[in-house]
Amino acid sequence: MRGLLLISALLFAAGTTQAATSTPETQTLDRIVNATIARYHLPGIAVGVIENGKVVYTRTAGETVAGSGEKITPRTLFKIASNSKAMTTALLGRLVDQGKLRWDDPVTKYLPQFQMHDPWVTANMRVADLLTHSSGLPEGGGDLMLWPEPNAFTRADIIHALRYIEPGYSFRSQYQYDNLLYVVAGEVAAAAGGAPYETLMRREVFEPLGLGRCQVGSWSRDSVGNVAQPHYRHDGRNVPMHEDGATIPAITSAPAGGIRCDLADMLVWARNWLVPTPAQLQWLSWPQRATLQAPHMLIPVSTQRRQWDNTHVMAYGYGWRMADIDGAWAVWHTGTLGGMYSMLALLPDRQSGFVFMINGEAEDARTVLGEVLMKHFTAPQERRGVAWYADALDEQAKQRPASASAPDTSTRQPAGSAELAAFTGIYRDPWLGEAAVCPRGGQVRFAAKKSPRLAGTVMRLGSRYFVHWDDNGVDPAAWMDFRTTGDGPTTLRMAKLDPQGDFSSDYEDLRFERVRDCP
């Protein structure tokens, strides 16, 4: 184990030495990164590029906290968000290699309490089915039990709640991205491996690969040090949001998106897939590596991807996406988590790839930078740069119909307690639990019992109501539609104000019923 750590460290050191030399290629990459930073006013970024198995470029810029003076370095920790999924599947692959788990084992073998909405699906759900986003769960279904953090939902709560989430399509019939089943996969790993998920991740992934800075579970911010904080854009500046306290708590969502790593470790992680050493092949066998990055569920190819990348087929493996891009086979994943964005992309046949992490609002920045870095390998003759792709995204946004955009809320007014008197009360959803819609100071407040950041004031916009969240980091706002029918209970349905809002804000899956009066 110590030998593998030393090998990884030496390989990374060799790559950074090479990257330190200015060449036409590194100058080109600098221009790409600089243009992205300037176009999107990023607070901080860390970028690494691998070519023919060697790290040929690293670049960091900006600050861990805007205005702090603490510079981003290759050892700055970022939330890698859904790039955690590939680490979770690698952990499962380790357990398969060790004979403790089989991909086609039923989930109930390890978690007898596991139930989906459909009993047949429960009985036939394999470990592999947890990983391919084809379970029948609607896109982002149940994600409000994971985010916004912190909240009081446990992994046991999630496993119990799955039986109440109505399917959006039939089992194994299509791709719809979800996070909850990766949390379940983490609990399968814990049951098969005989230790908590966090313990297994450190023991079976971080330590053998020498990922000495990667963190999962609870840890000390000050002891570890050099931790990037998320930001949002407000009035033309980057504003820190939900900065870490002295102790980083363990989070329920860790198997789906709760790991933090730095650039140095992410490059070691990436090279493990591109040019594994003999020791790394002992860590995870070729058969398991091939299984993780093989196509298991087809993903529809978007018009944009066809036009930009000449893509014909796209699929999901176990914690990885994959597609043909300009005739090259690419394997990648992205990560999004409250003011932090990441991307890790591999071109296995070329032993090349890249990784970057950003600590700010950067959805378009990630798309653009990922596209231009990919073209650096797959279409180097192409002259479209950051500005071209950024302009194309801006034009797409302008062309969206009004119905596909968030309404203007500038005329909103707080809803009076008198006008909503018939609808105030304590409501309950089968999986999110209780939420209060109760008067306070002449207004009406919404507050979810187990998710304290889901709290805000009920507003009137025209003839409709919505909840405006107190916390700027909770986005988007949510429509509130109350209904009373005959002698039945009053119900509350919710939906995103912005149809383009993050699918993890799955208000549409809530089924609130009024259960009692406000206290």
Alpha-carbon span 379 to 385, nearest angstrom: 12
Q: What is the pLDDT along the chain (519 residues), one digit of tens a residue?
A: 444 444 344 333 333 333 456 899 999 999 999 999 999 999 999 999 999 999 999 999 999 999 999 999 999 999 999 999 999 999 999 999 999 999 999 999 999 999 999 999 999 999 999 999 999 999 999 999 999 999 999 999 999 999 999 999 999 999 999 999 999 999 999 999 999 999 999 999 999 999 999 999 999 999 999 999 999 999 999 999 999 999 999 999 999 999 999 999 999 999 999 999 999 999 999 999 999 999 999 999 999 999 999 999 999 999 999 999 999 999 999 999 989 999 999 999 999 999 999 999 999 999 999 999 999 999 999 989 999 999 999 999 999 888 888 999 999 999 999 999 999 999 999 999 999 999 999 999 999 999 999 999 999 999 999 999 999 889 899 999 999 988 889 999 999 999 999 999 999 999 999 999 999
Tokens 């060449």 -> residue: 23
What is the domain partition of the chain in residue ranges? 2-97+187-399, 413-516
pLDDT value for 167: 97
pLDDT value for 22: 83
**SS3 for 150-212, per residue?**
CCCCCHHHHHHHHHHCCCCCCCCCCCCCCCHHHHHHHHHHHHHHCCCHHHHHHHHHHHHHCCC
Q: Are 309 and 389 in contact (CB under 8 A)?
A: no
pTM above 0.75, yes or no: yes
pLDDT value for 402: 83
Indicate the SS3 state at residue 69.
Answer: coil
Question: 2-97+187-399 adopts what CATH topology?
Answer: Beta-lactamase (3.40.710)
pLDDT value for 10: 37
The H or E element that residue 328 is part of is: strand 328-336
CATH number of 413-516: 2.40.128
Exposed / middle / buried, residue 497 (Cβ in 10 Å: 0-12, 13-18, 19+): buried
pLDDT value for 19: 46
Q: What six digits make up the tokens of 279? A: 């020791």
